[in-house]
A and B are shown apart, each in its own frame.
Chain A
Amino acid sequence: MTSPAMALTWAEIHRFARSPLVLPLVLVLLVSRTLSTWRDMTDWTIQSVDAATTLVLVGAGVMLAANLAVLRERGGGTADLLESLPLPAANRTWSVLCASLFCGAAAALLVLSLHVPTLLVGAAPAGVFRPQELAAGVLAVMLMGALGVALGRWVPSPVAAPVVLMLIVWSLFQFRDSWLLPLVPTQALPFEAARPPLWHLLYLAALVTAVSLAAVMRHRRTTGTVAAAVAASAAVVGAATLTAVPSAFEGAEPVELAGTHEGRVTVTAQASACEEHDGVDYCALPGFEPWVPLWRDAIGPVLEAAPPQAPQLEAVYQYTGYAFNDLEGGGYALVGTTWGRNGGEVEYRRAVAGSVAAFMAGFPPPDVLQSDGQGGFGCDAAGQARTVIALWLLGQTEAPVAAGTEREHMAEVGSDEVVAVELPASVFGAVSYGQAELDMAEELLADPNTQTLVHQEWERLVDVETTLEEAADVLGVAVPPGEPSGAERGTACA
Chain B
Amino acid sequence: MRVMPRIVFATARAMDWVPLGVAALVSVLITAWGFTGPYVDTDLLAVSLRSAAVLLGAAAGFGLTDAAENTTAASPVPRWMRQWTRTLLAGAAAAAAWGVAYLSVELRLPEEHSGVFAGLPVEAAVVILTGLACTSVVRRWMNGYPAALIGSTVLLVLVAVSLMYRSEFWLWYPPSAPEWEGLHRVWAVLIPLPLLMLVIGNRENPR
Chain A residues packing against B (C-beta within 8 Å): 20-21, 25, 28-29, 32-33, 36, 54, 56-57, 60-61, 64, 67-68, 71, 157-159, 161-163, 165-167, 169-170, 173-174, 406-409, 420
Contact = CB atoms under 8 A, between A and B. Distances in A.
Interface string B143-168: 00110111011001100110011100
Contacts of B146: 68
Contacts of A56: 160
Interface string B82-117: 000000000000000000000000000000000000
Interface of B: 18-19, 22-23, 26, 30, 33, 44, 47-48, 51, 54-55, 58-59, 62, 145-146, 148-150, 152-153, 156-157, 160-161, 164-166, 178, 181
A57 B44 contact: no
B26 A167 contact: yes
Contacts of A25: 153, 157
A159 B22 CA distance: 8
Given A57-B156, A57-B160, A408 B178 contact: yes
18 contacts: A28-B157, A28-B160, A28-B161, A56-B160, A68-B149, A158-B19, A158-B149, A159-B19, A159-B59, A162-B19, A163-B59, A166-B54, A167-B30, A170-B47, A174-B33, A407-B178, A408-B178, A420-B181
B47 A174 contact: yes
A60 B153 contact: yes
B62 A36 contact: no
Nearest to A76: B67
Nearest to A57: B160
Given A162-B149, A409-B178, A173 B156 contact: no
B51 A20 contact: no
B98 to A, nearest CB: 13
Contacts, number: 86
The 7 closest A-B pairs by CB, nearest first: A158-B145, A159-B19, A170-B51, A173-B47, A166-B55, A36-B164, A32-B161
A71 B148 CA distance: 14
Nearest to A409: B178
B36 to A, nearest CB: 10
A158 B164 CA distance: 28
Nearest to B56: A166
Contact of A174 (B44, B152, B156): B44
Nearest to B162: A32
B58 A162 contact: yes
Contacts of A163: 22-23, 26, 55, 59
A20 B150 CA distance: 8
A19 B185 CA distance: 37
Contacts of A54: 160, 164
Contact of A33 (B54, B148, B157, B164): B164
Nearest to A72: B146
* Most chain B Cβ neighbours within 10 Å, of A61, A67, A159: A159
A106 to B, nearest CB: 19
B49 to A, nearest CB: 11
* Most chain A Cβ neighbours within 10 Å, of B149, B152, B178: B149
Contacts of A61: 153
Contacts of B51: 166, 169-170, 173
B48 A174 contact: yes
A220 B160 CA distance: 37
